[in-house]
Every structure is written in C-alpha cells, then in structure tokens.
Chains A and B, each alone.
Chain A
Amino acid sequence: MGIHKVEPSDAELVRRVRAGDTGAYGALVSRYRNRLGRYAVHMIGDREDAEEALQDSFVRAYRSLARCDDPSRFGAWLYGILVNRCRTTGARAARRRRMFVRDAQALDGAAHADRADRLDWTDAVDRALARLAPDYREAFLLKHVEDLEYEEIAELTGAGVSALKMRVKRAREQLQKYLREAEHV
C-alpha cells in the first residue's frame, strides 16, 4: 500500500553513468559509502586514512567503469578495488601501527597500575583487531562483519577458500587471546 520508492539497480545506475549521466554515480557512492567505509575503517584502523582509501576507490572505480564486466555485481567489483586499496594503505601504515601498538602497550602498563584507567571495550576491540596480521584481519572482517561467503572472499582476495578458513579461525583465536589479556590488565 502507498507509494514505494523503487531504487534503481546497480546495473541500471552503471548503465546511466556509462551513457554520460555522472550524477547517477552519486547514487552508487551513496549506496555503498557506509558499508565500504566501515570495512575500510576497521581494516586500516585510522579514520582519515580509511576515508582517503574509500574516496580513492570510488574515483578509481569510476575511471575504470568500462572494466566492470558485470554491472549487476558492481558492489562486489567495487569491494575488490577497496580491498586492494586498503592493502596498499595498510602496508604504508604498518610502521605507524607498530608504533601505536607499542604506545598502547605502554599504556597497558599504566593501566595495570591504576585500574580506573582501564581502556573500555571499544578500545580493546580496536587494539585487538590492530594486532592481527593484515591477512587475518582482512579475512575475519570480510567473513564475519561484511558477511560475505568464502567463495566471494576468495574472488576478492585471490586466496583459496581453505586458506581463508584457516585465517578466519586463527583471527578468532587471536582476538580471544588479546581480549582475554586486556581483561586481565
């Protein structure tokens, strides 16, 4: 009943963009910004770097739209670009992240002395996630947070399904370990 707004499909929007309707790309950006942004923020760990990676991925996708073979799967294609971009950013930020972890460990020491300074759950999760190896973090986020199937993740990352399952399992184990350590600070 009533008036239902029918959103154009990804394929339709891609078709419009290819026909010269740049504005249609805005609808695609709006459609995917939050979900992809969440992945980038958790994967990279720095909001500014994540937004830069997200923006760059949208622009790269636009420039390369002719290479999107299946416009109905634009979202998956865009994910692939972002996953790649996050890897590049992650490698650049690795040194910074290591410094962050060292600082955090120093902070842990202080917290041990004064339990009133214990970091809250959000910080604990963020820090546990940051301590995972990038390929573990990537697999865990795509599987459990972005809710993708292993076959889809394999397509995005180029890794085999069994390797991905192993990464997710290790990521779960390590997250438990790191969070348990945080609880006992």
Chain B
Amino acid sequence: MFEREDETVERVIQHLRRPVAIDPGLDARVMREVAQVPREGRRGRPLWPLLAAAAVVATVLVARPWNRTAASNADTLQFVLVAPQAASVALVGDFNDWDPARSPMQTAHGAGIWATVIRLAPGRYRYAFLVNGVEWRADPNAPAARDDEFGTPSSVITVGGRGS
C-alpha cells in the first residue's frame, strides 16, 4: 500500500519536472522593460566588494524618521537619519528604483543628522538607508518590511492612508 502511494507521488513529481513551454517572447518583453529603467538606475554602484571592508560605527539615534511637511495628492516627506560617523547616506526605495544616486541625503552643521525631502504619491513603499554606500539600514522608527524578498533590511511607509 505504501509502495503504491509512493509510486503515485513519484509519478506526479516526474510529471511536474517535465519542461514547461514558456512564451518565447517573454525574454524580449523583459528586455524592453529593462531598457526603460532610467540610465542611472541601471548603473547601480557595485557595492558588494566593499561590504567586508565596511566598518561603519555610526549609531542610529533617529527620533523622527520622516515628517510630513505638506499635504496634497503627492505628499512631501522628510526622511531623517542620525548617523554621526557616516561619510554619506542615501535614501533608497521602491520610489527611486533603489538607486542611491537619486536621493542622496545631506547633513547640516556636521552633526551627523542626515536628511532629504522627496515627494511621494499615495501608496505603500519600501525603503532603506544606504550608509557609506555599503551598509543597508532599515529605519529603526518605522515598521519593518515583512515581505522583503531582497535579503536586506528595509522599512515600510504608507503615504496617503492610515499609518502615514
């Protein structure tokens, strides 16, 4: 009886392992979409070789990760991170294709308070801070992205709805 049942499942497995025909045009569609990604997004800086050498000791002390400063269809949001020993911080997220070149954060008075202001249409976005070009940090004062599939920490912001 058990042998017969195992045989049935094995037969299912062999059946499912057969190749499945995928539309031959899929590759071209992917490459067409990829070609529309902004040029700077395509050139994402090679970060991985530097990871091992990274020795970022900045402590995140952020109290207000972002503040709404205007309300309209698109909200103007200020993202803030306290990282006193960071040499650079960039805001990356769904809204800028995770491209650190598009939302660099500025520090004022050398106090290690990094900030940037961006406008976001209503929606749910995942984001993170990229410190010194190598260290991904989630926002310590925002909900963590539970469905993040990229393997690096990130946070969630909902604009124009509850929770924003």
Which A residues are closer than 8 A to B by beta carbons?
15, 17-20, 22, 25-26, 29-30, 33-34, 37-38, 41-42, 51, 54-55, 58-59, 62-71, 77, 80-81, 83-84, 121-122, 125, 128-129, 141, 144-145, 172, 175-176, 179-180
Whether the pair A66, B42 counts as a contact (CB closer than 8 A) is no
Shortest Cβ distance from residue A22 to the other chain B in the assembled complex, whole angstroms: 6
List chain B residues, Cβ under 8 A from A42.
16, 20
Tell me the interface secondary structure of chain A in the complex.
Answer: helix
- A83 vs B9: C-alpha distance in the bound complex, in angstroms? 23
Shortest Cβ distance from residue A129 to the other chain B in the assembled complex, whole angstroms: 8
Whether the pair A54, B26 counts as a contact (CB closer than 8 A) is yes
Which B residues are closer than 8 A to A by beta carbons?
5, 8-9, 12-13, 15-17, 19-20, 22-23, 26-27, 29-31, 33-35, 37, 41-48, 51, 92, 97-100, 136, 147, 149-152
Known: A121-B15, A128-B12. A67 touches B136 (CB 8 A): yes
Known: A26-B27, A71-B48, A175-B9. A80 touches B33 (CB 8 A): no
- A15 vs B44: C-alpha distance in the bound complex, in angstroms? 11
Please tell me which one of the listed residues A22, A55, A122, A176 contacts residue B26 in the complex, with CB atoms under 8 A apart. A55
Known pairs A37-B20, A80-B151, A144-B9 / 8 extra A-B pairs, C-beta < 8 Å: A22-B42, A29-B30, A55-B30, A66-B98, A77-B151, A84-B147, A175-B8, A179-B12
Shortest Cβ distance from residue A128 to the other chain B in the assembled complex, whole angstroms: 7
List chain B residues, Cβ under 8 A from A77.
150-151
- A8 vs B104: C-alpha distance in the bound complex, in angstroms? 34
Whether the pair B34, A172 counts as a contact (CB closer than 8 A) is no
Shortest Cβ distance from residue A7 to the other chain B in the assembled complex, whole angstroms: 16
Whether the pair A125, B16 counts as a contact (CB closer than 8 A) is yes
Shortest Cβ distance from residue B111 to the other chain A in the assembled complex, whole angstroms: 28
List chain B residues, Cβ under 8 A from A20.
42-43
Known: A33-B26, A81-B149, A175-B12. A62 touches B45 (CB 8 A): no
- A108 vs B103: C-alpha distance in the bound complex, in angstroms? 58
List chain A residues, Cβ under 8 A from B42.
17, 20, 22
